[in-house]
Structure 1
């Protein structure tokens, strides 16, 4: 759950001496985010006694962040401040995490040095492509036990992750469609023999939808309401907002099939199977 995830992130930063770590190997920027938000709210608490209030946001994940920081301030109002002061630096291995860091640096908000590991060629051109090529079919088949051969599979995005994902589906003899807003990436997909389409072209006919973009709202609740019954929806991009899970939860009834595999049924009786809660 989100609560367990952020509890674990907080515990990873909790060291026996109470001072915390001095270097972070981050994945997605969540530990870095927690440190920065923690120091920000500790500064506010020192100034006027105000505490973070989870009720001030509708974002389920940020609610957990605020609750974690609130609990930390109650135990030690200078905990994150001390951690930031001793921090030598962070390395970040994901595309989206690097975007976060660049945004913070541009605004002058980055509190310690950061190393961009993601753009190292042996990461972006190997892990993103070949790692995803290996793990996507394995994950889909473990979760659903479906045969991918002959299935219509939509890969949303044709960056490095999308390229590896599309290649793995093609190797399974699936019929692969690509959605892509970047004209160069779309042309690359076309030149590799994929059909480049818009989501609206295939929303009612495809069997499997996989997001690979690192952006948000790639598959909306409205999209899912138009999909065929038992269409499989998954994300191998980054955060869980590539698929509109919050809106889907409100518009459907959830039934857990097995761990990391849920069916969401709409009022009309048809539903979609979502892997790992998006």
Structure 2
């Protein structure tokens, strides 16, 4: 309050300052405990071409002790897993239950076929994104008679609480969010190299699991009946093996099936691209200039979403048919070097390597956001940014500033890895279609009589995968159509081989 001096003047108000004794110390505190992280160069180009500082991408609420250093058991005393925290199992179970409501095809397959146990005796080793949707697939495969061991195909995409729920349910899961490269390969090896357990089926996403078995345990393929591959990256690697005469088991190409290309790749990415960018950068899309590299199904989904939000979208594409589609859809076709100085966001989704190289990043404007929607982390040449003259500054989880000597900076998301599964989540319903296709492919390969399939890459016929899903899934009923006129599992579907020169 104001105080009156003797001469009549009014003095300044007296202010009481509140001080906290520990205030300065609290703001100066920094975590000092560093967990063991052994970073190594991997033998696979698709997953490990760039250095990973994954340790800082873990949740701040979690302790920094590596899961490999922990001794954990589930409520039944089983310890054959390695995850972040088994105590999160209840939370993960609730997420799986939510996912089940949005996966009618897979739940219908489980209900319809669990009495027949078409996968009885199957020992499936899997390497995919470990999310609530994958958990529904794993539990479906288990209900159909299979034994499963699982690792993650991406060091950032694992949902820790879901992994905990799976471990509590008795699954051998080896994955956590924020693995190092050394952790990544260690987890895959723990799935494969176990005493008294020999896999006879492979479910892969990206080809890293298949690659690891070929390099480390080639004799295992004597008992493996087939490979089911989901991603374009993994399919390309299967083509390479087949062309070189090194593919020694049949493989199913799920990526190029109509249910994957026309639903998962397109609609899943159309919704999740915006989610991933919003969560990491809070960017406003209206008026932004965006270049999308690649106009396949993933590129189509990304362009449609960004255009609807008011962005000015450019497209780069080398395939003449896809380029014509982009033109007919109203997008301007450009070369990357023509627009790289002016765009605000660069998105890669080609499935190729070194699409955005250091030369382009040197010419980007200040604040440009760079991210990847393809499976492989090689589309953006992140390794070229690990040089002494550039400074890396962590902004938040999965967000880095890469700063040039003149002060210019770009915003790199998830160190060039898959944006939507690394930084956000994906729509459950559309994944129900892909997961059901994977399950059907596993059933067919496992039950096929010897000699039906040669050492080749096979594509799911459109007749088999389209009619059941369109007529049954979209009205959220069941997939009973698939089973109406068929009595036995072996030979249920006719598969057609894909030319390896494709």
- TM tier, smaller: 0.7 to 0.9
> Residue 369 of structure 2 is aligned with which of 189, 210, 232?
232
CA distance in 1, matches of 2:373, 2:267: 13
Quote the Cα distance in structure 1 between the aligned partners of 2:309 and 2:196.
Answer: 50
3-state SS, counterpart of residue 125 of structure 1: helix
CA contact (8 A) 1:19 1:83 kept: no
Kindly name which structure, 1 or 2, has the bigger radius of gyration based on alpha carbons: 2
Aligned pairs (5 A) from 1:38-187: 38=216, 80-187=217-324
Higher mean alpha-carbon deviation, 268-277 vs 250-259, is at 250-259
Give, in angstroms, the shift of residue 30 of structure 1: 0.7
The ranges of structure 1 where at least 4 consecutive aligned residues each deviate by more than 3 angstroms after the TM superposition are 17-20
How many angstroms apart in 2 are the aligned matches of 1:83 and 1:218?
36
Q: Deviations over 1:157-211 (max 9, x none)?
A: 1111110111111121111110111222111111111111111111111000000
CA distance in 1, matches of 2:289, 2:408: 19
Query: CA–CA distance in 2 between the matches of 1:110 and 1:158?
Result: 30
Deviations 1:218-250 (A, max 9, x none): 000110111011100000012111000111112
- What does residue range 2-13 of structure 1 map to in structure 2 within 5 Å? 2-13=181-192
Q: Decide whether the 8 Å contact of 1:203 with 1:226 is kept in 2.
A: yes
Q: Distance in 1 between matches of 2:320 and 2:353?
A: 19
- Give the distance between the partners of 2:405 and 2:236, measured in 1 at CA: 38
Match of 2:407 among 263, 269, 274: 269
2:202 counterpart SS class: strand
**Which residue does the alignment assign to 2:382?**
245
Which residue of 1 is the match for residue 206 of structure 2?
Answer: 28
CA contact (8 A) 1:213 1:238 kept: no
Distance 2:352 2:264 in 1: 19
Question: Shift of residue 252 of structure 1?
Answer: 1.8
The 1:7/1:190 distance shift into structure 2, 3 A limit, reads same
The answer for unaligned runs of 5 or more in structure 2 is 1-179, 417-502
Cα distance in 2 between the residues matched to 1:37 and 1:81 = 6
By how many angstroms is 1:116 displaced?
A: 0.9
Contact 1:261–1:275 (Cα < 8 Å) also in 2: yes
For 1:19 and 1:274, locate their aligned partners in 2 and report how far apart those are by CA, in whole Å: 41
Shift of 1:6: 2.1
In structure 2, relative to structure 1, the CA distance for the partners of 1:186 and 1:109 (3 Å cut) is same
Shift of 1:268: 1.9
Tell me the CA shift for residue 14 of structure 1.
4.2
Aligned partners of 2:326, 2:379: CA distance in 1, in Å? 21
Contact 1:36–1:111 (CA under 8 A) maintained in structure 2 = no
Does structure 2 conserve the Cα–Cα contact (< 8 Å) formed by 1:253 and 1:264?
A: yes
- The answer on 1:218 being equivalent to 2:396 is no
Counterparts of 2:348 and 2:374, CA distance in 1: 6
What RMSD, in angstroms, separates the aligned Cα atoms of the two structures? 1.4
Give the secondary structure class of the aligned counterpart of 1:153. Answer: strand
Please give the TM-score of this superposition, normalised by the length of structure 2.
0.46
Once the two structures are superposed, what CA deviation does each residue of 1:106-137 show, in whole Å capped at 9, x if it has no partner? 11111322111111111111111111111111
Secondary structure at the counterpart of residue 260 of structure 2: helix
Give 1:81 shift.
4.0
Unpaired runs of 5+ in structure 1? Answer: 39-79
1:257 CA displacement: 1.0
Q: Comparing both chains, which one has the higher relative contact order based on Cα–Cα distances under 8 Å and sequence gaps of 6 or more?
A: 2
Residue in structure 2 matching 1:203, options 312, 322, 340: 340
Give the aligned length. 236
The equivalent of 1:188 in structure 2 is 325
Q: Is the 8 A contact 1:19 1:82 kept in 2?
A: no
Give the secondary structure class of the aligned counterpart of 1:147: coil
